[in-house]
Amino acid sequence: MTTKDVNQGNAPAYKPVSMTPKEYKQFAKKREPSRSVGMNCVRAFLIGGAICLIGEGVQQFFMTAFHMSEREASNPTVATMILISVILTCLGVYDKIAQWAGAGTAVPVTGFANSMASAAIEHRSEGLVLGVGANMFKLAGSVIVFGTVAAFFVSIIHWLIEVWR
C-alpha cells in the first residue's frame, strides 16, 4: 500500500514501522506484563519444597514398608519421582503447575523427567526413531552437558583443595 492509495481513499491507512531498536525496546517494555519477582520466588519455593516433601515421603515409605536403609531407598525413590513426573506431564498437569510455579518445578529429577517426556510427546507423530528417539534429549541434552561440565570443574576444585591440605 502506498501513500497514494491512502490519499485516494482506496484502503485503510497503515504506517510502516520505522522505529529504531532503542524505540522498539521502549515500546515493547511498556506492553510487557509486569512480573512480581517476590511472588515468583515464593511460588517456586512452595512448589519446589512440595516436590521435595513428596520425594521425602516416598523415601520414608520405602524405608518403612520394605525395611530399607536410607541409601537403599534412594534409588526406588528417584524412579518413583520420575514416574510421577512423567505421568503428570502426559496428563498435562505438570505443565500447568510449572506455569504457576516457574523454576520451582525444575527440581532436578522431576524437571529433567518432564523435559524429556515433553519432547517425546511433542515429536511422537514423527515416529519412534526419528520423532521420539531423536528429539527426546532435545532439552535434556543441554542439562546433561552442562551438568557434566559443572561436575568436572567441581571435582577439579575439590581435588585441588585436597592436594593443598
Would you list the domain boundaries of the chain?
40-136
Q: Name which residue leads in pLDDT, 90 or 118.
A: 90
Q: What is the pLDDT of residue 153?
A: 96
3-state SS, the chain, equals CCHHHHHCCCCCCCCCCCCCHHHHHHHHHHHCCCCCHHHHHHHHHHHHHHHHHHHHHHHHHHHHHCCCCHHHHHHHHHHHHHHHHHHHHHCCHHHHHHHHHHHHHHCHHHHHHHHHHHHHHHCHHHCHHHHHHHHCCCCHHHHHHHHHHHHHHHHHHHHHHHHHC
Q: What is the pLDDT of residue 17?
A: 67
State the pLDDT confidence band at 141, using cuts at 50, 70 and 90: confident
- Name, in order, each residue with C-beta under 8 angstroms of 6's C-beta and a sequence gap of 6 or more: 12, 13
State the pLDDT confidence band at 8, using cuts at 50, 70 and 90: low
- Nearest to residue 116, comparing CAs of 153, 143, 81? 143
Q: What is the pLDDT of residue 7?
A: 52
